[in-house]
Structure 1
Amino acid sequence: MRIILCNASSSLLAPSPSFNPTHKPTILHTTATAKNCNCWQNKALTALLSGALSLNLLIASPSSLAIQSPSLKSTSLTSTSDASLTEPCHEDDEVEALAQSESQVVTNERIVEEAWQIVNDSFLDTGRHRWTPENWQQKREDILASSIQTRSKAHDLIKRMLASLGDPYTRFLSPAEGDELLAVNGVDVKGKSAFEVSSLLQGPNETFVTIEVKHGNCGPIQSLEVQRQLVARTPVLYRLEQIDNGSTSVGYIRLKEFNALARKDLVTAMKRLQDMGASFFVLDLRDNLGGLVQAGIEIAKLFLNEGETITYTVGRDPQYQKTIVADSSPLVTTPVIVLVNNKTASASEIVASALHDNCRAVLVGERTFGKGLIQSVFELHDGSGVVVTIGMYVTPNHMDINGNGIEPDYQSFPAWNDVTEHLSQCNVPARVKNR
């Protein structure tokens, strides 16, 4: 297994695309913008160990790795002695050398066609792009009509080809982008699953772990001893408020982001507010830009009945066409107001729409941001990769979140009587019968 430390938002595990057995995709279930990687040594490792970054896992059997414990406190740094430390290195030269060594197996034309085929098989056009099967076929013929002399030229062609889709999330990753994790505490991670690597990295607070990392194609192999430190902060703020001259108690909960602590701390807050006599709840998702999608799904389950739909995932490949449902009884059944605004995005929109469409809550505020796409990373045969939009999230009422957002029921705070009446007249979507 090859693990690339790269800045992306990932959280929901799903099956990989079935392009062919040699492709090595991993699902980046993200509704956040995935920027080009700038994986500096300490920044990448700090975020890796704190769970702030996910890993782009370029592996045969996909797994999603979100490490929740430990942040970096570097205590020593050792570089392995090799030629890369004493001789100048040029990324393009190394790419070309790699291409020459693999020339009998992997041609430049094959790399370009491989990227083309991945898009052809998996790219989901959400209706706002310029992709059509006919145009895409013509692009392949145009690109492969002439000889591609260098690997750098092949990569440039792939970049332009992907840019022509008009999708900011579908992009090229060069072999040099991202740091490569080689070993943990002397244990080679090659061939290990993401979860096996996760278990090696995690451990008690303030204990030490040694990580061996290669920085890009041309970078040195370095050994870092880091101290695990818990740095995750609770995203939950809550209080009990009295309304109607003190006759009604309302539990107010603000959720700032969906991190590893979100569900646990939200459960604690809800139970305490119930014990204090809360008759209604206000869930404040304003300015919550999202985070871990899986955390959002688990939080939505706290309010829904077993079998009720949380969200749908839609893609061209049947593997991406899923219905995600609640699998347990709700923690609370009292009416809920969800506060939203134009910075309520991604995982927040999944939660808000799940509660709204299942008649568990009314939405109050502004139309939400509208971000709900799913990306996958595919490794090409020369170690480069392409990130491709392969799916999107759809609300229980079959509304496309991405680019549309969710319209609230009220712009200003309603009376609780109005909330109760609104929910009583709401129609719950049909439950999934066969799961």
Structure 2
Amino acid sequence: MEALIRSLDLKPPRISPFSLDPSRPISSQISFCRFSSSGRRGSRKWRVVSAASELGSESARQRLVGSVGKWVVGFAAAATALSSVCFDSPAFAESLTVAFPVSRTPEVNTVQRTLIEAWGLIRETFVDPTFNHQDWDLKLQQTMVEMFPLKSGDAAYKKVSAMLSTLGDPFTRIINPKEYQSFRIGSDGNLQGVGLFINIEPTTGHLIVLSMIDGSPAARAGIHEGDELVEINGERLDGVDSETAAQKLRGRVGTIVTVKVHDVKDMSNSSIREVKIPREYIKLSPVSSAIIPHRTQDGQLSKTGYVKLLAFSQTAASDMESTIHQMESQGVQSYILDLRNNPGGLVKAGLEVAQIWLDGDETLVNTIDRDGNMLPINMIDGHAITHDPLVVLVNEGSASASEILAGALHDNGRATLVGHKTFGKGKIQSVTELHDGSALFITVAKYLSPARHEIDQVGIVPDIQCTADALNSPREVIGKDRSSRIPLEADSCIMIAEHELDIQQSKGTAS
């Protein structure tokens, strides 16, 4: 992801001073809290050089209240500390010093520093330079003062989240250090949990089940794709982001998590059901595969390599490359890449997977930065592992990096798309670890397919539509993927894909 952000060449806006009057003395005993940065965008680390001191008098407190605006009526009686924050990072256009009240509660004080860091990164890179048509400087002032009287770090994090929610983008969010560790574990490929992939449905804000890992506790408990998560262990999920919900689902192996789910296809109240799911070790192997032998139209025996990509984790590209090499050595002549119900993951992994199938300097995706500039991301001297015919399966659960990959392969003439219209998430996030171990997800760009087709809230329409209905056509399957809910030999989308591959082979085309 870091490499992707560098390629966007996002330029920070010129930062204007706050509305506070720096010439007005607030206290004769002010010391400073200075934050210094390494200046490398995407990996900024901050340190505190000195601490804040007492406000000297009631009149000084009153002046502070007046300087931050009339909306903080009554704050003077509570304000007992003050700090000045100075951004001296070369990533910012000019230095800035602003006075804020600093909490005496250590956990809250830590989150206040996190707030400053998050605010600066948003100001530098968020895709909407109007910040949802609001004064982002004033928003920092308001949030810092609201955070001052709090007594816990959790409450302070909620204030940061509330500030980010005003941007109007559900994908720009912060997760605390514990949640971020769980997120990293999931991206690395191992966790203790129930085996669900969930995401926020952007139009409703509801948490939707995109897919389950085959054989996982959630799959065995009867959770279905498209179900809405309503509660976890008695806690309502209104306004809860997907990472926070995923953290609540995870836990020590052998424990039970109780969820309430709503079948969105059934609008009656009775469709909300309670399910108890045991937690187990979940191996997030991103690639599963099989070889499907079949007879072509001219009666020849052919082998089709079936590759299902579950998520774009750190090992997705290397695992797929290894799988394709193995299949090539076994005489596979065509491929089906299954991206159905793949919710995405690391965009960098999606671009790496695309390069397994493409040659040359093809455009993989077009990004649009905060200034509206179109920036293509191209391969450099790409060499595909195979040029055999390829069909890609997609559906409404194919999101984000899945849509980038599907668009790259389709628009460059490498693959035919079969299935249903995709999810429609056309935004790219950067992920930055902050000084306290939390992580900030920022939408830094929108993307279009290589042919400049809009994806966000639109999705990708496949060339051939199908439904994964079971068909009575048993066939032999060679490989390690025998546990699908609909077996490969009975999946109508795979049948259609094989027919399309036969047509390509009969024409002598290696797309």
Map 1:34-433 to 2 at 5 A: 57-59=43-45, 100=81, 102-103=83-84, 107-108=99-100, 119=122, 121-125=124-128, 132=130, 135-137=133-135, 148=145, 151=148, 159-171=161-173, 177-178=176-177, 233=285, 235-244=287-296, 245-316=299-370, 321-376=375-430, 387-412=441-466, 413=496, 414-416=499-501, 418-419=503-504
Indicate the SS of the match to 2:332.
coil
- The structure-2 alpha-carbon separation of the partners of 1:255 and 1:116, relative to structure 1 and needing over 3 Å to count, comes to closer
| Residue range with higher mean Cα deviation, 306-315 or 408-417 | 408-417
Identity of aligned residues (%): 31
1:167-206 Cα distance to aligned partner (Å, 9 max, x none): 1122456xxx31699xxxxxxxxxxxxxxxx9xxxxxxxx
Say how many residue pairs are matched.
Answer: 299
Contact 1:306 1:325 in 2 (8 A): yes
* In structure 1, distance between residues paired with 2:294 and 2:118: 59
Indicate the SS of the match to 1:136.
coil
1:320-357 Cα distance to aligned partner (Å, 9 max, x none): 94523253221111221111111112222221111100
Indicate the SS of the match to 2:327.
helix
Contact 2:291 2:332 in 1 (8 A): no
Contact 1:23 1:379 in 2 (8 A): no
Indicate the SS of the match to 1:274.
helix
* In structure 1, distance between residues paired with 2:373 and 2:322: 36
* In structure 2, distance between residues paired with 1:338 and 1:134: 37
Structure 2 residues without counterparts, runs of 5 or longer: 16-34, 47-79, 87-97, 103-111, 151-155, 181-187, 189-282, 467-495
What is the aligned partner in structure 1 of residue 473 from structure 2? none
* In structure 1, distance between residues paired with 2:394 and 2:300: 26
Q: What code does the residue aligned with 1:124 have? A: V
* In structure 1, distance between residues paired with 2:446 and 2:45: 23
The Cα of 1:120 is off from its aligned counterpart by 5.2
Q: What code does the residue aligned with 1:361 have? A: A
Indicate the SS of the match to 1:14.
helix
* In structure 2, distance between residues paired with 1:273 and 1:401: 32
Bigger CA radius of gyration: 2
- The structure-2 alpha-carbon separation of the partners of 1:151 and 1:293, relative to structure 1 and needing over 3 Å to count, comes to same
The Cα of 1:310 is off from its aligned counterpart by 1.2
What is the aligned partner in structure 2 of residue 94 from structure 1? none
How much is the aligned-residue C-alpha RMSD, in angstroms?
4.9
1:64-97 Cα distance to aligned partner (Å, 9 max, x none): xxxxxxxxxxxxxxxxxxxxxxxxxxxxxxxxxx
* In structure 2, distance between residues paired with 1:146 and 1:334: 56
Contact 2:429 2:443 in 1 (8 A): yes
- The structure-2 alpha-carbon separation of the partners of 1:171 and 1:299, relative to structure 1 and needing over 3 Å to count, comes to closer
Structure 1 residues without counterparts, runs of 5 or longer: 1-9, 29-56, 61-98, 126-130, 182-197, 199-230, 427-435
What is the aligned partner in structure 2 of residue 228 from structure 1? none
- The structure-2 alpha-carbon separation of the partners of 1:249 and 1:362, relative to structure 1 and needing over 3 Å to count, comes to same
* In structure 1, distance between residues paired with 2:142 and 2:322: 63
Indicate the SS of the match to 1:242.
strand
- The structure-2 alpha-carbon separation of the partners of 1:239 and 1:180, relative to structure 1 and needing over 3 Å to count, comes to closer
* In structure 2, distance between residues paired with 1:260 and 1:340: 21
What is the aligned partner in structure 1 of residue 19 from structure 2? none
